Amino acid sequence: MKRTLLCALLLATNVWVKAQDAVGYQMPPKTMADLLLAKPTPTVNIDAKGDWMLLSERNTLPSVEELARPEMRIAGMRINPNNFGPSRQVLTFSGFTLKNIKTGKSYPVTGLPASVNATGISWSPDQTKIAFTQTNAKSVDLYVINVLTQKAVKTNKLPLNNVMSGGITWVDNSTLLYKVIAKPANLAPVKPLTPTGPVVQQNLGKSAPSVTYQDMIKTPYDEKLYEFYATAQLVMNKNGVETPIGKPAIYASAQLSPDKKYMLVRTLHKPFSYLVPAQSFPSTVTITDLTGKTVKTLASLPSGEVKPSGYDNLQNVPRGFDWRDDEAATVTYAVPLDSGLIRKKVEFHDAVYALSAPFTGQPKELFKTETRFRNVQWGNADLALVSEGLRSKQTTKVSRYSPSTGKLEKLWERNQTDVYGNLGEPVTERNQYGRNVILTVDNGSKLLMNNVIGSSPQGDLPFLAKFDLNTKKSDIIWRCQPGQYEYVTDVLNPSRLVLVTRRETQTQVPNYYLKNLIARMADIQLTDFKNPYPQMEGVTKTKIQYKRSDGVDMTGDLYLPKGYNKDKDGPLPVLIWAYPAEFNSADDAAQIRGSKDRFITINPGGPVFFVTQGYAVLDNASMPIVARDGKKPNDTFVEQLEMNAKAAIDKLADLGVGDRNRVAVGGHSYGAFMTVNLLAHTNLFKAGLAESGAYNRTLTPFGFQNEERTYWEAPKLYYEMSPFSYADKIKTPLLLTHGDADDNTGTYPINSERLFAAVKGLGGTIRFVYLPYEAHGYRGKENLLHKLWEQNQWLEKYVKNAKPQQTAQAN
């Protein structure tokens, strides 16, 4: 009896070890690790006068220990309760250098804290000072750099409150507006040992569709915590002296008027929602003076819970409150004319109103839009640009609005997926209020348009153009030369066309240059950044083009290993990495995106690492999902995925660089969803790598990605697009990765947990890596290194060293 029990225990232990392969952190091959840990080049920020350049050193990847610091997940936010700031910041800076553009001399900034963790860089109106926030373990502080002395000084007395975003506003050259904590952290509400009762939610007949947000308020205690940490005090800091503005409140925003006499304030209040994040809580929009006294209450807005479903539908309330940049103190906002329902047949769907100081009169209607109003970019009394469009139809339209005459005239219109038709963004200038407004040239007749992407049939070639407001035609005056990738970052002198550009090639790291288009003098190099990735020297990158079986043109970025010769070395094992995109037009789907001439930069979450391990890597492989025969794109989602994948594999095989019998597919988020669908419905691949995906669409019943139909409107679609529905068909080895703190809408970790359990229970080959403290995008150094190790081991076993077999065919 004892022997039988012992055998049973040993057997159970054996099964557990196989199912729960607990391992410590592992390191990938050294080349991959070195690429991941390489220090990135600094970011560059140039003052409005073109005199000084701020070089900001970027912090390297945080450790898992840093990610594990205290974190509160409430109201759709991740809060550090020790310092009243966000617990996760993607981009922070570790140091600053100022460089004089005219002399070329560089000066390290002194007076910085011992360990710099900076964000929120902001130049003063006269460009002589730079403010930034410094995040510490117990507080968030405000520092100001004097550009002339290159010295930083801490200027706040009270710790900042950055829970509801950490905006810093320059009032004048010596005064800053920001939020500080209302109470210290040690006064936070204490969690009761026992609840006062159950948590109860109800709905009394109102339609309240809700997106699957994460980190919502769940209990009355959560409500108290949110209210405590989000409540802040506005202060005005003049030369280091902080003066309170109004009373403590939950400030969603506080915007200073152009003339610096008023504030446009939105405050949040109870009842707090358990279904939507903080920015959708009930709120009040007011205009106050600089003491905090209410001048005008503009609106009382309800909870976002009752927003109707559908991407172009919205609540029947005013929205988009903002200051008009070209006037002293005029508030603008939009009101729906269709009760918020886009399918309602009306001539105009939105109207935009304005109300000027002293805000005692009636709002004035400025214009109406035929589709859904998006925003206004202001210029002067004769020029503003009005943007409108429909997400459901992927359309966008820009019109010229004349504030003096009230005339609205269409300038251009395009499908948002038509990248060739993108004219760029208007160059701006600072007006008498210090606000950025539309710049005009040639006696006000033309706009200067900057397109930093510049998609074309030859690949991305950024350009600067003049758009004639009368003829409505665009004339390119400068364009990036083929063989490199260069775009305009700053227009220092629009009349003389003195520019700063950022230039790179496939082998030359991006650097900044001073360019004069009229003088046509030689470019002056402003920075001299070195290659942080010497391990990639010799790797080749090409943009390949191919067609899928229905004739849709496709592209991808092909990376081949250093020294590779297809005639000598033969076809390579392949990793295809992609992310699906929906199109209403096959022509738009066929447009070429990206440039073969960009410097090979390592994205910590990308696949390029594997080119150093002997793989042909096809990154950004086209995965278009195109509307056909009057149907919506997703109606043939799986069918089109298979066509896309087969076309890519065939192309690599035809080129002689890819072994069609040794191909893996991978992706992150919607790319992971794609990956598992391909494994469930085809036999084209040897392995799959799926990171932080959503695999059961019934968990996102009110829409997902660009699909706005609900589960109840299209249950068959939701079932067929869910790879979880076909877990019994997943026999290709699948490596699942997910962060246990995923904060993205819809991609709950339960997606990977349940898919793993299903495939395991059905006898498939699957491994599930649960990364501790990781959100939707992975950041922890140890986690990223270990993820690369896992993926490399998986590909080595199931792809590179796969046993020979007959050519894989689709089911």
Q: How many CB atoms are located within 10 Å of the residue 374 CB?
A: 17
Helix axes 30-37, 781-795, angle to 10 degrees: 150
* Rounded CA separation 758/780 (Å): 29
Q: Measuring CA to CA, which residue among 26, 116, 80 is closest to residue 773? A: 80
Q: Measuring CA to CA, which residue among 407, 374, 402 is closest to residue 388? A: 374
3-class secondary structure, 65: helix
* Rounded CA separation 681/739 (Å): 26
Residues near 193 by beta carbon (within 8 Å), at least 6 away in sequence: none
Q: Catalytic pick from 595, 669, 692, 752?
A: 669
* Rounded CA separation 168/177 (Å): 6
- Contact at 8 Å (CB) between 324 and 379? no
Catalytic residue status for 742: yes
* Rounded CA separation 431/258 (Å): 10
Q: How many CB atoms are located within 10 Å of the residue 785 CB?
A: 20
Q: Catalytic pick from 668, 681, 738, 776?
A: 776
* C-alpha distances out from residue 351 to 318, 370, 394, 644, 741, Å: 10, 9, 21, 43, 41
Alpha-helix runs per DSSP H in 288-398: none
3-class secondary structure, 127: coil
- DSSP one-letter string for 548-599: -TTS-EEEEEEEE-TT--HHHH--EEEEEEE--EEES-HHHHTS--S-TTS-
Query: Phi and psi dihedrals of 645, rounded to 5?
Result: -65, -45
Q: At residue 755, what is the residue type?
A: L
Q: Residue 582 pairs with which residues in a beta bridge?
A: 625
In total, the chain counts a number of residues equal to 811
Query: Phi and psi dihedrals of 756, rounded to 5?
Result: -60, -45
> What is the Cα Rg of the chain in Å?
28
Distance of CA 729 to the CA centre of its chain: 34
Give the sign of the dihedral formed by CA 341, CA 345, CA 348, CA 353. Answer: negative
Q: How many CB atoms are located within 10 Å of the residue 499 CB?
A: 24
* Rounded CA separation 655/657 (Å): 6
Residues near 6 by beta carbon (within 8 Å), at least 6 away in sequence: none
- Contact at 8 Å (CB) between 216 and 208? no
3-class secondary structure, 718: helix
* Rounded CA separation 157/144 (Å): 13
Pairing of strands 440-441, 446-451: antiparallel
Catalytic residue status for 460: no
3-state secondary structure 648-689: HHHHHHHHCCEEEEEEEEEEECHHHHHHHHHHHHCCCCCEEE
Catalytic residue status for 668: no
Q: Catalytic pick from 742, 743, 752, 786?
A: 742
Distance of CA 649 to the CA centre of its chain: 30
Q: Which residues are catalytic?
A: 669, 742, 776
